[in-house]
Amino acid sequence: MMIDMQRWPTAKDERWVSGGVAGLDALIDGFRLGDNVVWQVDTLETYRHFAHAFFRQAVRDQRTFIYIRFGAHAPILASQPGMVIESFDPRDGFDVFSAQVNRIITHWGARAFYVFDNLSGLVDWWATDELLASFFRATCPYLFELDTVAYFALERDHHSDEAVRIIRDTTQVLIDSIVLDEALHVRPLKVWQRHSPQMFLPHRVEAEDWIPVMLEAMPETALVHETTAPWVTVYNDLAVGVRDGTLDRASAGRLRRKLTRMLLGTDEKILHLADRFLSLDALLHIRRRVVGTGRIGGKAAGMILARAIVRQQCDDVASAFPLLDEDAFHVGSDVFYAFLVHNDLFRARLSVTRTGVVSHEDYAELERRFLAGTFDAARIDAFAELLDALGDAPYIVRSSSLLEDGFGNAFAGKYRSEFCVNAGTREERVEAFMRAVKLVYASTLNPDALSYRRNRGMLDSDEQMAILVQRVAGQPHGRYFLPSLAGVAFSRNLYAWTDRIDPRAGMIRLVFGLGTRAVNRVSRDYPRMIAVSHPELRPEIGEEVAAYSQRHVDVLDLDAATFATVRLREILKQGPFPELHRYVSIMQEGYLTEPVGRRVQPAADVVLTFNRLLKETDFVRVIGRMLAALEEIYEHPVDTEFTAALTADGAVEVNVLQCRPMWLPGAQARVEVPTDIAPDAICFRTNRFINGGVADPIRYILYVDPRAYARIEDEQYRRTLPRVVGQINQDMRSRGERLLMMGPGRWGSSNPELGIGVGYADIDQVSVLVELAHEEDGHVPEVSYGTHFFQDLVEAEIIYLPVYPSDPDTAFNDAFFHSATNVLPSLYPTLRPYAEVVTLIDVPAERGGCQVQLVADPETRQAVCYMA
């Protein structure tokens, strides 16, 4: 039957929109404002034809018309008057691309008309149908809300039925088309809120005539096809090719590279390492352990590579690194976006990342919304299978975003990791797993992460959040589950507090139990700091060793099904802990001794020192070899996390959990010591320091002039100075200000001749502590390197710098410190008597709004403190 042209609508309501083709308008009764129109085509020529007609009509109707250009194919529309072309590069990733499109839609506002390039092309860049579907699902509802009409093209036979189903469910209009016998056939598959008896019949297009036909070749289920997305095809081709031996070398190499990029991202250095250290089997093994599609993220990639590197590079200690390929699973990064769009969180997230600011209250609300989100049934089944494969062991759900642990930036510790005890019914365990995943997803929006990204101009970066699901290494011990040993190890020791220590040999922060205690800096509880070059040296002695030891242990409490921090004594109450004699010393009558043999008396007052571990096992050598190998291969200092255990015969087994490029505290990228600072803006330069880092801008300098200090005759006055410093420190705490403190000799010395005898509580608001060593009578005093409260400085990441003003390699701005206005008497009138010795400088007031900046780079052994 031919379409009755007499029924061509003449006076439609204002929401009626013509597609510019009479036959089409008649067939589906035109479009409506708000329609998203997806053309499924076998050739882009068909799409061009309809898009062009749509554009001409839009010009006639004086519509705002935007062509969204991103495809690798020839343009769908040639540039011409009445058309705005907005171009994007999908290679920037789903996140960036979707955000840019969203922004353009916002910009052009209501009732704009759009033609998008071929959506199928996105799969070439993004590798998966899942992301394509997520993009559509994120964009389409917004266009609908704004009463726009938008054209999209999808190539027939390119996508999984699931992806097309999602698109079909989301769009208002879906029209299938095919060229048969040189004739174009069109059949609407979905037309929202309109119906006519012939609407869903195929029509042959003959000029103005649209003739309904019955076509065998256009079956009802024409849209169900195997996907051509590389995520599936590359893997299939490789797996089958390898199995059957049918792949030639060049194809295998090409496919392997594609697979590597799909799994590990586009960071050239990571890809290079993967080529060198991961076998094809290893890659396929990873791919088989991914739930959903997409990448496994930076943290997972770093871990897998590091494990492969140490096993291959550390031949002499290889047995210390057991094969652990079965302990980890991944949730692909696409799942994150699918979750966002499925739960209407994508735009909420966009609006937050756009400003880069979220209050803690808003974040709490966002987290609630994430927790209320759901996964579809198929995904939940996949999660359940993942948990089945994990077994009963406790596991950790770790964030592994694309930005994390990359070479350009170590996005460390901003996102969440969740321990799961993995107990209960299967349903409860799946529920707990999903809750953990959602919490990690929500943490992409936490205020810390956002402000970090904002400060580093990373708000627009593609932040695909994959998840690393990993068994927790360790063993049950009574009601608790914990690893014997865990910690972090750095290939460079930033805390070489004596010249004997070789900073290039690295440093270990070791704890008993879960490594969270070593990663997070907890005040008043201390990991064992081990200089790899001199494991036995420690800046404490006698009873200080016990004071600066770990007293609390992070564990999983199996009974309470939760992560917990408990006292060491509580762990030992559960029964004899394996190899405990190597981890503890015994406090007896006020001094420490090592246990004799293997026995540790249950009633003994034990202190975690790890002394016998360090003396009697290969532990330090193994970690040292690991650090050296990783630094050599990464061609950059590295920062690692590990767990370790001892076998009954004392052999060490190390499980590498994380490896990333190491940056200085306070920095998340290579630190450049500025060289172009005006001489009068420099406070000092020095080439001796122990812990490098970058300090956040500082407002106040507290300067105790060494000469004035030496001239003090009243001993009482001198002995009061620590309390003066403490009082200022305390007030700065209430003001929320950090300080730079500079003073003569050894801070914390009990001998006032040698320095100001402060305790740590008197200086805990300091971010940089400077020990001024003035030469007197040809004798330069030895500096203390902060050993009076060294471990406190380390835990608080306070930078400690000795400065020798008389050293020719040191610059010291004497003039500034002596001419600057001393605000001590005005801020603290009661401290006026101390103003002749203690100078408090309000730097912004002194120097036109400047603040003190400090960069200390241990690599070049250069530190500069300046005002900017």
Partner 1 sequence: MSENLNPFKVAQTQFDEAAERLGLEPAMRTLLRWPRREYSFTIPVKMDDGSSQVFHGYRVQYNDARGPTKGGLRWHPEETIDTVRALAAWMTWKTAVVDIPLGGGKGGVTCDPKKLSEGEKERLARGWVRAVARELGEHRDVPAPDVYTTPQIMAWMMDEFETIVGRSHPAVITGKPLPLGGSQGRNDATARGGVYTVREACAALDIDPGGAYAIQGFGNAGQFAALLHRQVLGGGKLVAVSDTSGGIYQPDGFDPEEIIDYKKKNGKVAGFPGTQPISNEELLELEVNVLYPSALENVITAENAGRIKARISCELANGPTTPEADEILFKNGVHVIPDFLANAGGVTVSYFEQVQGTYNYYWPLEQIHTSLDAHMTRAYQEVRQLQQEMNVHPRLAAYLVSVTRVAEAVKLRGWV
Q: Provide the binding-site residues for partner 1, judged by CB under 8 A.
A: 498, 500, 523-524, 534, 536-543, 547, 551, 588-593, 615, 715-716, 719, 723, 749, 751, 753-754, 757, 759-762, 782, 787
For 505-545, the three-class secondary structure string (H helix, E strand, C coil) is HCEEEEEECCCHHHHCCCCCCCCEEEECCECCCCCCCCHHH
Using the minimum distance from each CB to partner 1, give the nearer residue, 12 or 711. 711
Nearer to partner 1, 95 or 792 (CB): 792
Smallest gap from Cβ 536 to partner 1, in A, equals: 4
Q: Cβ of residue 436: shortest distance to partner 1, in angstroms?
A: 30
Beta strand 739-744 pairing with 605-608: unpaired
Residue 448 token pair: 């810390």
Q: Which residue has the tokens 């392997």?
A: 256
Q: Smallest distance, Å, CB 719 to partner 1?
A: 5
Q: Which residue number, 669 or 754, has a Cβ lying nearer to partner 1?
A: 754
Contact call for residues 766 and 738 (beta carbons, < 8 A): yes
- Which tokens in the block code for residue 254? 């090409």
Residue (615 or 670) nearer to partner 1, CB: 615
Q: Smallest distance, Å, CB 611 to partner 1?
A: 8
Question: Could you tell me how far CA 775 lies from the centroid of its own chain?
Answer: 47
Of residues 753 and 775, the one with the C-beta less far from partner 1: 753
CA-based nearest residue to 554, from 607, 602, 518, 608:
518
Return the number of the residue (559 or 782) whose C-beta is nearest partner 1. Answer: 782
Give CA torsion, residues 63, 69, 75, 81, to 10 deg. 30
> CA–CA separation, 496 vs 530, rounded Å?
10
Angle, vertex CA 130, rays to CA 126 and CA 136, nearest 5: 90
In terms of CB distance, is 696 or 715 closer to partner 1?
Answer: 715
Q: Nearer Cβ to partner 1, position 615 or 832?
A: 615
Q: How far apart are CA 866 and CA 429, in angstroms?
A: 54
Residue 703's alpha-carbon distances to 651, 737, 816, in angstroms, are 52, 16, 11
Q: Nearer Cβ to partner 1, position 266 or 588? A: 588
CB of 443 vs partner 1, minimal distance in Å = 30
Cα–Cα distance, 758 to 766 (Å, whole number):
12
Could you tell me the two tokens for 282?
């290893």
Question: 3-class SS at 407?
Answer: coil
Amino acid at 315: D
Closest approach of partner 1 to the CB of residue 498, in Å: 5
d(CA 112, CA 33): 9
| Residue matched to tokens 């630094």 | 631
What residue type is 623 in one-letter code?
I
Q: What is the DSSP string of 205-244?
A: EETTEEEE---TTS-TTTT------HHHHHHHHHHHHHHH
Q: How far is the CB of 712 from partner 1 (least distance, A)?
A: 10
Residue 96 host element (H or E): helix 94-108
Q: Report the alpha-carbon distance of residue 630 to residue 312 in Å, rounded.
A: 11
Taking the complex as a whole, the smallest distance from the CB of residue 538 to partner 1 amounts, in Å, to 7
- How far is it, in rounded angstroms, from Cα 656 to Cα 491? 14
Tokens 């052994």 sit at which residue? 861
Q: Smallest distance, Å, CB 800 to partner 1?
A: 15
∠ Cα 293 296 301 (to 5°): 155
- Closer to partner 1 by Cβ: residue 276 or 723: 723
One-letter amino acid at 306 equals: A
Residue whose pair of structure tokens reads 């005093």 in the numeric block = 781
**188 vs 527, which CB is nearer to partner 1?**
527
Q: From the CB of 545, what's the least distance to partner 1, in Å?
A: 10
Give whole-number Cα distances, 859 to 492, 637, 854, in Å: 9, 10, 15
Distance of closest approach, residue 776 Cβ to partner 1, in angstroms: 11
User: In angstroms, rounded to a whole number, what is the distance separating the alpha carbons of residues 124 and 108?
Assistant: 28
Which strands make up the sheet holding 65-69, listed edge to edge?
84-87, 65-69, 113-118, 149-155, 36-41, 173-180, 183-191, 203-206, 209-212
Q: Is 273 helix (H, G, I), strand (E, B) or coil?
A: helix
Question: Which residue stretches of 588-691 are H helix?
Answer: 611-616, 619-634
- 623: Cα separation from own chain's centroid: 25
Nearer to partner 1, 102 or 611 (CB): 611
Least distance CB 757 / partner 1 (angstroms): 8
Pairing type for strands 173-180 and 36-41 reads: parallel
Q: Which is nearer to partner 1, 334 or 771 (CB)?
A: 771
In whole angstroms, how close is the CB of 588 to partner 1 at the nearest point? 7
Question: What is the smallest separation between the CB atom of 598 and partner 1, expressed in angstroms?
Answer: 18
Q: Would you say 633 or 837 has its CB closer to partner 1?
A: 837
Q: What angle separates helix 619-634 from helix 268-277, to the nearest 10 degrees?
A: 120
| Alpha-carbon dihedral 15, 17, 22, 28, rounded to 10 degrees | -70
By beta-carbon proximity to partner 1, the closer residue of 20 and 757 is 757
Chain position carrying tokens 């690991």: 626
Q: How far apart are the first and last CA of the chain?
A: 80
Q: Which is nearer to partner 1, 448 or 536 (CB)?
A: 536
Q: Which of 576, 484, 566 is nearest to 525 (CA)?
A: 566
Rounded least distance, CB 547 to partner 1, Å: 8
Least distance from partner 1 to the Cβ atom of residue 499, Å? 9
CB of 644 to partner 1, least distance (A): 22
Toward partner 1, which CB reaches closer, 537 or 845? Answer: 537
Q: Which is nearer to partner 1, 322 or 542 (CB)?
A: 542
Radius of gyration of the chain (CA): 33
Least spacing, CB of residue 697 vs partner 1, in Å: 28
